[in-house]
Amino acid sequence: MRQNLSSYSSKQGETIRADLIAPVRVDGHTLLPQGSLLSGTLTEVKRIGWGARNLRASMKLTFDTIALPDGTTRPLKTRIASVDNARETVDPSGKIVGIRATAPMGHRLAGITRNIFIWDPLLQMVLTGSTAAVLRFPEAEIYFPAGTEMFLALTEPLEVDTTWSTPMPRLTANPEDRERLLNLVRSMTFRTYREKNGKPGDFVNLVFLGEPESVERAFTAAGWIHADRLTKSSGWMSFRAVAEAKPYPRAPMSGMLLDEKPAVFQFSKALNSYSKRHHLRVFEQPEAWSRRPVLAASSTQDIAVTFSFSNNRLIHVVDRNIDNERAKIVNDLAFTGCVDSAELIERPWVPQTTKNYTGEILETDGAVAVLEINPCRTPLRSLDPGAPMRVSGGRMQRMGRQVMLTAGNDFTFNNPVYQAGKGLQFLFRRMRGREDRTQPARTGLLQRSPRPTDIAAPPAATLPD
């Protein structure tokens, strides 16, 4: 999205614009190139306001025109399929539906506790006061800042006149350079390990050729930010983010090692949910490429938070198709103009299905994307957040809304019958096994290189135990 959107401040009928950051590719052909401009209308918007009429905010966006890089425009019919890393949901018609302000975990548990002691008004007052003192009432109005990413689905076929070439030069131009690159990939450890207990972590699925400061500038231009270090303070902020359904884009990551060394960078890209984010860890390597530093990175997307009985704690659920995240990062960095060339290298020795240290399944084709990063001092594209928007009413309105929504929630959702049903539903799902949470497949700029017949696994000494 090129502009801010707010269920409280945005008006029905406003013009909306967005950039296509991932090319649409079918059978190896690029039908809609990266950088195309989409435009449309905000066709519906509802605010919560005082909470008397609407328990949830909502909005509906309709994109109806696409402008291609050559200047031609075409009409199209679409609906929003999903909002990336959002706490909001999208219904089958494409309407974006906000959360209930009383739905976060902390407020649900507090409401259940109040109902347990419904016979004691004094204790109820104490519980209500203590909850309000520890947990803030979440702001449930929808707010999408510029840079919010969405998936669109066509509702009618779109005819295209031509296919577009992939504007990403290959990294190697001759057999000698390719053999050097293959040797570089063979020599690198392909998996991280958890710093705390040595258990296997994520796969290395990206390699950056360039100075660390250039890589940092490229991710900054693409809207990624540094994650906080794991401390007591950041741990408390993480707890509040889960309990209050509030954003914490800089949430810390668990410590991982590659070749027994910690990451030099930890980047994340989130929206408004602690449960969902793109993230990667970047590690320095001893090798060099044409006298330029080499950095390896492991990336995955967190798509939910759940309680793990085997780990006895809350854990992040990841998109099991980790190649989605590889394509996401390649698209993001290419969109900034900070990538000079790139190539996708096969690694037949990498297992295509495995589990990480929390028991999450990881699936991959085993390939690694190698990107040559330029200095990135003047990115081609960067976001202009524009003027800030008002996202909620005044203090009196927020207090009145909190009272009304809490009272209605305790009567409707926190009663023992409803909660017993939700508990049985949760146990039933756990008995059936975790549902498939794989995200929609992402298309990327990189074409798969012909699989070399001479590529071999690294020597056993370079493989992790």
For the segment 37-60, what is each residue's pLDDT rounded down to a tens digit?
Answer: 999 999 999 998 766 677 789 999
Give mean pLDDT, residues 352-373.
92
Give mean pLDDT, residues 20-24.
92
SS3 content of the chain, % helix, strand, coil (to 5): 25, 30, 45
CA pair distance 338, 332, nearest whole angstrom: 10
Check pLDDT > 50 for residue 249: yes
Q: Which two tokens stand for residue 180?
A: 């050097």
- Cβ neighbours for 453, distance < 8 A, ≥ 6 positions apart: none
What confidence score (pLDDT) does residue 113 get?
61
What confidence score (pLDDT) does residue 202 get?
94
Min mean pLDDT across 14-18, 84-88, 345-349, 400-404 is at: 400-404
Provide the whole-model pTM: 0.83
Beta bridge partners of 25: 30
List the one residue out of 101, 92, 29 whose CA is nearest residue 60.
92
pLDDT band for position 241 (cuts 50, 70, 90): confident
Q: Long-range CB contacts (< 8 A, 24+ apart) of 112-118?
A: 112/414, 112/419, 114/410, 114/414, 115/410, 115/414, 115/415, 115/416, 115/419
Three-state secondary structure call for residue 62: strand
Give mean pLDDT, residues 282-292.
95
What confidence score (pLDDT) does residue 181 get?
95
Check pLDDT > 70 for residue 25: yes
What confidence score (pLDDT) does residue 176 get?
93
For the segment 80-129, what is each residue's pLDDT rounded down to a tens digit?
Answer: 999 999 999 999 999 999 988 776 665 666 665 656 655 566 665 666 55
Give the ranges where 19-60 is alpha helix by DSSP (H): none
Min mean pLDDT across 132-141, 302-311, 399-408 is at: 399-408
More confident site: 352 or 456: 352
For the segment 125-145, what is each residue's pLDDT rounded down to a tens digit?
Answer: 666 555 555 566 778 889 999
Domain spanning 1-100+139-165, CATH class: mainly beta
Residue ranges per domain, the chain? 1-100+139-165, 175-381+437-462
Check pLDDT > 60 for residue 204: yes
What confidence score (pLDDT) does residue 268 get?
96
